[in-house]
Amino acid sequence: MSERLILKLGGSVITDKKADCAVNRGQLGAIASAIANARTGGIVVIHGAGSCGHPQAKRYCLDRGLSREMIGGVYETHVAVCILNDVVVRALRFHGVEAMGIPPLAAAVAEKGRLSFLNADPFDLMMDRGIVPVLHGDVVMDRSSGASIVSGDQLVVHLASALGARRVGLATDVPGVLHEGMVIPRLQPEEVASLDLGGSSHTDVTGGMRGKIAELSVLVERGIEAHIFHVSRIRDYLEGSDHGGTILGGNT
């Protein structure tokens, strides 16, 4: 079977986090073109919420669980991220990618704020038939707290293992993991604690660069490489070329 890949688009690269659900359509078009023109054996695209969803999640304090008074926040947050997902899917389809949006709220369950279940069988079948599933960070039902936010990074970790991907890629607004202004070409998770990491100036309810590495360290333990690179280098990542970013895990 050809290599399967997971590509995560950071919310800050497809939206303006300083505005309310403002999509960067120019950059999204460039991303869609890069995906359409890359040679791959199958890909799942996962994107962050950016300014579409994080404001609602914060307003209703969904990271703290779900109270009866805050049930409306599940709806508002989910609608916001689905609007963004539809824009992403339409951009991909415009460039010839057979993309299909899949909302995690309908397929995932969390436990104490962590993704505990997501049925990967539909994605497996879609990829076999040339369909590109497009998922997103979302609010999902939580067995412990009622509802919680599942980040795109959690989805990456879950699906990479379930779908047999050997590489996952995170396209960000920075060229890689930075230390003193320089990209670290290769990094092991245990080295992170001693570094003063640079990264995106944006903050959100799902954590920054250090949080991403903490999520991805689970994959490294399973022998799966995580690649962190600038969004302009998506095609390089998809085709296995040097993307100038950081590789987490693998041979040092």
- What was the pLDDT predicted at 193? 67
39 pLDDT more than 90: no
- The pLDDT tens digits of the residues spanning 128-184 come to 999 999 999 999 999 999 999 899 999 999 999 999 999 999 999 999 988 888 899
Residue holding tokens 């038939």?
A: 129
197 pLDDT more than 80: no
Contact (CB, 8 A) for 38 and 238: yes
Query: Does residue 92 or residue 249 have the better pLDDT?
Result: 92
Give Cβ neighbours of residue 60 (< 8 Å, ≥ 6 apart).
Answer: 70, 72, 73, 74, 76, 77
Contact (CB, 8 A) for 212 and 228: yes
Contact (CB, 8 A) for 136 and 152: yes
Length of the chain: 252
At residue 72, what is the residue type? G
- The pLDDT tens digits of the residues spanning 58-77 come to 887 787 778 887 888 899 99
pTM confidence score? 0.90
Torsion over CA: 230, 126, 155, 72 (sign): positive
Mean pLDDT over 182-191 rounds to 87
d(CA 49, CA 112): 21
206 pLDDT more than 60: no
**Tokens representing 171?**
């396209």
- The pLDDT tens digits of the residues spanning 8-30 come to 999 989 998 777 788 999 999 99
- The pLDDT tens digits of the residues spanning 72-117 come to 889 999 999 999 999 999 999 999 999 999 999 999 999 999 999 9
Q: Please compute, for residue 102, the number of CA atoms within 13 A of its CA located in the half-sphere on the CB side.
A: 22
- What was the pLDDT predicted at 191? 81
- What was the pLDDT predicted at 196? 64
Torsion over CA: 239, 138, 143, 218 (sign): positive
252 pLDDT more than 90: no
- How many Cβ atoms are within 10 Å of 214's Cβ, its own excluded? 13
**Tokens representing 149?**
């936010």
Tell me which DSSP letter residue 96 carries: T
Q: What backbone phi and psi angles, to 5 degrees, belong to 140?
A: -130, 160
What domains lie within the chain, and their CATH numbers?
5-248 (3.40.1160.10)
